[in-house]
Structure 1
C-alpha cells in the first residue's frame, strides 16, 4: 500500500504542476491578478508532494521491500544503509524522480524568493517551470515509475546496487549535478518569460543572474566531484575520458559560463540582450540533450542508463517541443530587442563577447565529437570513433586565446580603454609570467615541451592579471585595506573563479605532461622504483566488507629509505552478482599523488600492480571547488537581496 501512496502523491503533484502551467500564464495574459497570485501556492504544493513521494521511495528501499521492482533491481539486504539511500537514484526510474525533486524544489524556491518581481513576470516564470514539471512528471508516471510492483511473485533478495556506484562519490555527485542541470531551467524560464512579456531590459538579467550563478556553481561542483570519483574509483588513474556522458555535462557548463558573463554585460550595460536570451535557451536545451544521451540507450558507457528506446523517444520529443517552441518565440521577438549601451573595440564588452565566442565554439566541438559517431552509426554508415586526441588537440588550440583574454579581462573597463598604457601593462605581465614559469618548471623537470611551458605560463598569466586588478582597485581608495573591503562579493567571486580556472589549466597541463606510470609483477618483498619513491610489496591480506570479500595488496612507500605511507590497494568480489571491482589506494598531496591499483594474481605468488606518480593532480579539483564557490558567493551580494517592489503588478 505504501508504494501506491508514493505513486498517488506523484499524481497529485502532476495535477498541481498542470495548474501551475495554466493558471499563472493565463492570468498574465488576461491581467487576472488572482490567477497570478495562485502560482506560489501551487509551486510549493507540487514540491511537497514530490518530496513526499521521494521519501516513500527511500522508506521502501531502507525496509527492503522487494515487491517494488525498482528496489529489487537496485538494492539488497546486505547493502549498507547509506548506499540503500544512494540506490534510490542509482537506477533510471529513481534518477528521474530525483530530477523531479530538484525541479520542484527550484520551482518552489523561485516562488518563495521572488517577491521583488513584478507579478506578470513572476507568474510567467513559474508557469514555464510548471510546464517543464508537467513534461517530466508525465514521463515519470507514464514510462518511468519507481513504484511498480512485482506481485504476486517477487524475489527474497535484491540484485544489489552496481558495485561501481557503491562509492562516496555516488552519494553526492548525482544530486549536485542534477541541481545544476535543473537549476538552469530557471534561467530558461526567466528568458522565456522575458520574451513573453516583451521587456528584455537589463532588469530581467539582474533577476536571472543569481539563480544562474547558483545553478552553475552546483553544476561545476558536480562535474568536479564526478571527475574525482572517476579518478579514485575506476582504477585507471585518469580524471576525464571525453566519454559521451561526461561530455553531456560539460556542454551545458560551457554555455552556462558564457551565459553568466553575458548576463553581467546585459545587466550593467544593457547590451547583448538577444545573445543572452539565446544562451539561456541553449544552456537548458543542452541539459535536455544530455538527458537524452544518458537515458535513450543509444550509447554504451559506464555512466549511461541503457533503457527502453521508447523512453528516449519521449525525451527527444519533449526536447523538440521545448527547443522548437522557445526558438520560435525567440525568432518572433528578437527583432524588437535593441541594445542601449555603446562601446568601442578596446572595452570589457568586446573582451567578454570574445570569450563567449570561444566558449560556444568549444561547445560546438564537444557537440560534434559526441553526436557525430552516434548519427553515423544510426544512419547505417558504419562505426567511426572521435576520441581523446581530437578533443585534446582542439581544446589546446582554443585555450591559448581564451586564457589570454581571461588574463586581461579584469583590467578592462566598460565602454572604452586607452590601448597604449594597457599594452605596456600587458607586456610587463607577459615578461613576469614567462619568468615565473621558467623558475617553476626548468629547475624541476629535465625536459619542458613548448606547449607545456606555454600552457603553464597562461595559468600564471591569468593569476597575475587577476591579482594585479585587485591591487589596482584596492590602491585607488584612501588605504589599501579599506579598498579591499569596498570590493563587492560579485567582484571577489570573479577573482575566485578566474584563479580557479588558472589552477585547472596548470593541473591539466602538468599532470598530462609529467604523470608517470609503471606496471609491475611483484612477489612479497620485491621493490619497484618510480621517480624518487620506492614501493615495497609486503603481500596481500584478505578483507571482508558488508557485502563483499577480497584481497588488499599491502605496499610500503619509501623515499630515501624513509617511510612515507602504507597503501592498501583492494580487489573486491561482491557477494551478489559476483562482480570484481578495483579500489585504488591513493596517497594524496598538494603537489603530487601516489596512486596504486592491484591487478590479477599471477603464478608463484606474484601479483600485478599499476603504480602512478601524478604531479599537481589535486589542483584540478581545488580549482573546480574555487570556481563553484564563485557561483555561490554572488548570491550573498546585497544587490540581489532586494525588498519587494511596491505595486509590482505589471
Structure 2
C-alpha cells in the first residue's frame, strides 16, 4: 500500500508542477497578480508530495519490501539500515527520484527566499523551475519509476546493493553532486526569467549569485568526496581516472566556477552581462548533458546506471528543448544588452575574463574527450579511446596561464592599472616564489623534473601573491587589526578559493611525480622496504561484517626502528551476491599516505600485496574543502541574508505591478 501511495504522491506532484509551469508564466505575461501569487503555494505543494513519494521508497527499502522491482534489485534483508537508505539512490530509478526531490526542494527554497523579488520576475523564475520539474517527473513516472511492482510473484530476498556502493562515500557523494547539478537550475531559471523580462541589470546578478555559489559549493564538495572515495575504495591508489561520469561532474563545475566570477563582475561593475547569462545557461546545460551521459548508456563507464536507449532518447529530447529554447531566447535578447561599466586592457575585469575563457576552453576539452569516442563510433569510423594522457597534457597547457593570471588578479584594480606601479610587486612575488619552490623541492628530492618544478612554482605563486595582497591591504590602515576587520567576507572567500586551488595544484604535482608503487608477494613474517619504510606482513585474520565475511592482511609499518602504523587491508566476500571487494588500508598524514591493498592468495601460500607511498595527497582534498569554504563565506555575507526596505521598494515589492515590467 505504501509504494502505491508513493506513486500517487508523485503523480499529484506532477499535476502541481504543471500548474506551476503554466499559471505564473501566464500571469506574468498578462499582468495577472492573482496567478503570479499562486506560484509559491504550488511550489511548496509540489515539494511536499515529492518528499512523500521519496519517503515511501525509503520505507519500502527499510522494511525489505521485495514486491518492488527496485528494492529487490538494489537491497537485501542483511544490508545495514543506513545502506538500505543509500540503496534508494544506488540504482537508476531511485537516483532519478532523488533528482526530482532535489529539484522540488530547490524550487520550494526559491519560493520561500524570493519574497523581496518583484512578482513578475519571481513568477517567471518559479515557472521555469516548474517546467524543469515537469520534465523530470514525466521521465520518472513513465520511463524510470521505482514503484514498479513484482506482484503476485516476488523474491524472498533481494539482490543486494553493489559492494562498490557499500561505502560511507556513497551516503554523501551522490546527494552532494545532485544538490550541485540541480542547484544550477536555479541560476538557469533566473537567467531565463531575466531574458523574458528584458532586465539584465546588476540587480539580477546579485539575486542569482548566492544560488550559484550554493550550487558550486555542493559540486565542489561532491567532486572532492568522489575523488577521495575512488582513492580509498577501489584499491588502485588513483584519485581521478578521467572516466566519462567523472567528466560529467567536472564540466558543470568548470562552467559554474567561471559563472560565479562573472556574476561578481556583473554585480560590481555592470559589465559582462550577456556573457554571464550565457554561462548561466551553459552551466545547467552541462548538468543535463552529464545526466544524458550517465543515464542513457551511450558511453561505457563503471559508474553508468542504465543502457536503455529509450531513456536516453527522452533525456536527449529534453536536453534539446531546454538548451535549444534557452539559446534561442538568448539570441533574441542578448544583442540589446549594453554593459554600463568601462575598463582598460590592464585591469581586474580583463584578468577575470581571461580566466573565464580558459575555464570554458577546459570544459570544451573535457567534452571533446568524453564525447568524441561516441561520435567516432556512430559515424562508422571505428572505436577510439581518449584517456588520461590526453587530458593531462591539455590541462597542463591551460594551467600555466590560468595560475599566472590567478596570481596577479588580486593585485589588480578595477577599470585600469598602470603596469609600472605593479612591476615591482610582481617581481618581488616572482622572486619569493622561485626561491621557496627551489629550496623546498631540491632539499626534499634527489631529482626534480621541469614540469614538476613549474607546477609547484605556479601553486606557490598563487599562494604568495594572495598573502602579499593581504599584507598590502592590512598595512595600509593605522593597525593590522583594523585592516583585517575591514576585509569583507567576499574578499576572504577569494583568498580561500585561491589558496585551496594552490593546494590542489601542489598536491597533484607532487603526488604524480613522487608516488611510489610496488607489487609484492609475501609470506607471513616477511618484510619489504619502500621509500624509507619497512612493511612487515604479520599474517592473515578472519573478518565478519554485517553482510560479508573475508580476511584481512595485518601489516605493521616501521620507520627508523619504530612502529608508525598497523594496517588491515581487507578482502571481503558479500554473502548475497558472493561478490569480492577490496578494502584498502591507509595510514594518512599531511605529508604522506601509506597505502596497502590485499590481492589474492598464491599457490605457495604467499599473498599478493600492493604497496603505495603517496606524498602530499591529502592536500588535494584539503584544497577542495578550502575552496568549498570560500562558497560558505560568501553565503554568510550579510548582503545575501536580507534585503533592505529601500531595495525592496526598488525591486518592486508593491501591491500593483506596472505593465512595463511584464511586457515580453
- TM-score with structure 2 length normalisation? 0.97
Deviates more, 1:611-620 or 1:295-304: 295-304
Aligned equivalent of 1:360: 360
Say which SS state the counterpart of residue 302 (structure 2) adopts: coil
CA contact (8 A) 1:590 1:619 kept: yes
CA contact (8 A) 1:299 1:306 kept: no
- In structure 2, how many angstroms separate the alpha carbons of the residues matched to 1:295 and 1:378? 18
Cα deviation, 1:72-113, whole Å, max 9, x if unaligned, reads 000000000000000000000000010011101101111001
- In structure 1, how many angstroms separate the alpha carbons of the residues matched to 2:8 and 2:490? 44
CA contact (8 A) 1:298 1:306 kept: no
- In structure 2, how many angstroms separate the alpha carbons of the residues matched to 1:265 and 1:17? 34
Give the drift of 1:622. 0.3
- In structure 2, how many angstroms separate the alpha carbons of the residues matched to 1:157 and 1:314? 32
- In structure 2, how many angstroms separate the alpha carbons of the residues matched to 1:70 and 1:307? 16
- In structure 1, how many angstroms separate the alpha carbons of the residues matched to 2:511 and 2:222? 21
- In structure 1, how many angstroms separate the alpha carbons of the residues matched to 2:232 and 2:241? 14
- In structure 2, how many angstroms separate the alpha carbons of the residues matched to 1:408 and 1:70? 53
CA contact (8 A) 2:570 2:583 kept: yes
Give the drift of 1:636. 1.0
- In structure 1, how many angstroms separate the alpha carbons of the residues matched to 2:273 and 2:569? 54
Give the drift of 1:486. 1.4
Aligned equivalent of 2:540: 540
Alignment of 1:344 onto 2:344: yes
Root mean square deviation, CA, Å? 0.8
Deviates more, 1:629-638 or 1:582-591: 629-638
Aligned equivalent of 1:401: 401
Matches within 5 A, 1:281-320: 281-320=281-320
Aligned equivalent of 1:513: 513
- In structure 1, how many angstroms separate the alpha carbons of the residues matched to 2:629 and 2:30? 42
Cα deviation, 1:580-630, whole Å, max 9, x if unaligned, reads 110000000011000000001002220000000000000000000111111
CA contact (8 A) 1:176 1:218 kept: yes
Q: Which runs of 4+ in 1 moved over 6 A?
A: none
Give the drift of 1:632. 1.8
Deviates more, 1:630-639 or 1:608-617: 630-639
Aligned equivalent of 2:151: 151
- In structure 2, how many angstroms separate the alpha carbons of the residues matched to 1:476 and 1:185? 42
- In structure 1, how many angstroms separate the alpha carbons of the residues matched to 2:568 and 2:67? 39
- In structure 2, how many angstroms separate the alpha carbons of the residues matched to 1:194 and 1:290? 25
CA contact (8 A) 1:243 1:301 kept: yes
Aligned equivalent of 1:330: 330
CA contact (8 A) 1:300 1:306 kept: no
Say which SS state the counterpart of residue 344 (structure 1) adopts: coil
Gaps of 5+ in 2: none
Say which SS state the counterpart of residue 571 (structure 1) adopts: strand
Say which SS state the counterpart of residue 78 (structure 1) adopts: coil
- In structure 2, how many angstroms separate the alpha carbons of the residues matched to 1:312 and 1:501? 35
Alignment of 1:476 onto 2:464: no
- In structure 2, how many angstroms separate the alpha carbons of the residues matched to 1:499 and 1:156? 54
Aligned equivalent of 1:410: 410
CA contact (8 A) 2:210 2:640 kept: yes
Give the drift of 1:380. 2.2
Alignment of 1:631 onto 2:631: yes
Aligned equivalent of 1:559: 559
Say which SS state the counterpart of residue 612 (structure 2) adopts: strand
- In structure 1, how many angstroms separate the alpha carbons of the residues matched to 2:541 and 2:238? 27
Matches within 5 A, 1:181-200: 181-200=181-200
Give the drift of 1:307. 3.0
Aligned equivalent of 1:33: 33
Cα deviation, 1:10-64, whole Å, max 9, x if unaligned, reads 0111011111101111111111111111111111111111111111110010000
Alignment of 1:530 onto 2:530: yes
Give the drift of 1:287. 0.3
Give the drift of 1:389. 0.4
Give the drift of 1:641. 2.2
Alignment of 1:428 onto 2:428: yes
CA contact (8 A) 2:429 2:468 kept: no
- In structure 1, how many angstroms separate the alpha carbons of the residues matched to 2:477 and 2:237? 48
Aligned residues: 650
Aligned equivalent of 1:212: 212
Gaps of 5+ in 1: none
- In structure 2, how many angstroms separate the alpha carbons of the residues matched to 1:236 and 1:213? 33
Say which SS state the counterpart of residue 300 (structure 1) adopts: coil
Alignment of 1:280 onto 2:319: no
- In structure 1, how many angstroms separate the alpha carbons of the residues matched to 2:622 and 2:476? 31
Give the drift of 1:404. 0.3
Say which SS state the counterpart of residue 150 (structure 1) adopts: coil
- In structure 2, how many angstroms separate the alpha carbons of the residues matched to 1:306 and 1:108? 30
CA contact (8 A) 1:202 1:270 kept: yes
Matches within 5 A, 1:51-200: 51-200=51-200
Say which SS state the counterpart of residue 611 (structure 1) adopts: strand
Deviates more, 1:486-495 or 1:152-161: 486-495
Give the drift of 1:329. 0.2
- In structure 1, how many angstroms separate the alpha carbons of the residues matched to 2:470 and 2:107? 37
Say which SS state the counterpart of residue 156 (structure 1) adopts: coil
Aligned equivalent of 1:593: 593
Give the drift of 1:638. 0.9
Matches within 5 A, 1:36-51: 36-51=36-51
Say which SS state the counterpart of residue 386 (structure 2) adopts: coil
Say which SS state the counterpart of residue 442 (structure 1) adopts: helix
- In structure 2, how many angstroms separate the alpha carbons of the residues matched to 1:148 and 1:475? 66
Deviates more, 1:509-518 or 1:634-643: 634-643
Say which SS state the counterpart of residue 499 (structure 1) adopts: helix
- In structure 1, how many angstroms separate the alpha carbons of the residues matched to 2:542 and 2:378? 47
Give the drift of 1:218. 0.3
CA contact (8 A) 2:517 2:612 kept: yes
Give the drift of 1:308. 1.2
Give the drift of 1:477. 2.3
- In structure 2, how many angstroms separate the alpha carbons of the residues matched to 1:276 and 1:559? 54
Aligned equivalent of 1:583: 583
Aligned equivalent of 1:20: 20
- In structure 2, how many angstroms separate the alpha carbons of the residues matched to 1:299 and 1:576? 29
Aligned equivalent of 2:203: 203
- In structure 2, how many angstroms separate the alpha carbons of the residues matched to 1:642 and 1:340? 26
- In structure 2, how many angstroms separate the alpha carbons of the residues matched to 1:263 and 1:333? 18
- In structure 2, how many angstroms separate the alpha carbons of the residues matched to 1:623 and 1:244? 23
- TM-score with structure 1 length normalisation? 0.99
Give the drift of 1:135. 0.3
Aligned equivalent of 1:257: 257
Alignment of 1:382 onto 2:378: no
Give the drift of 1:476. 2.2
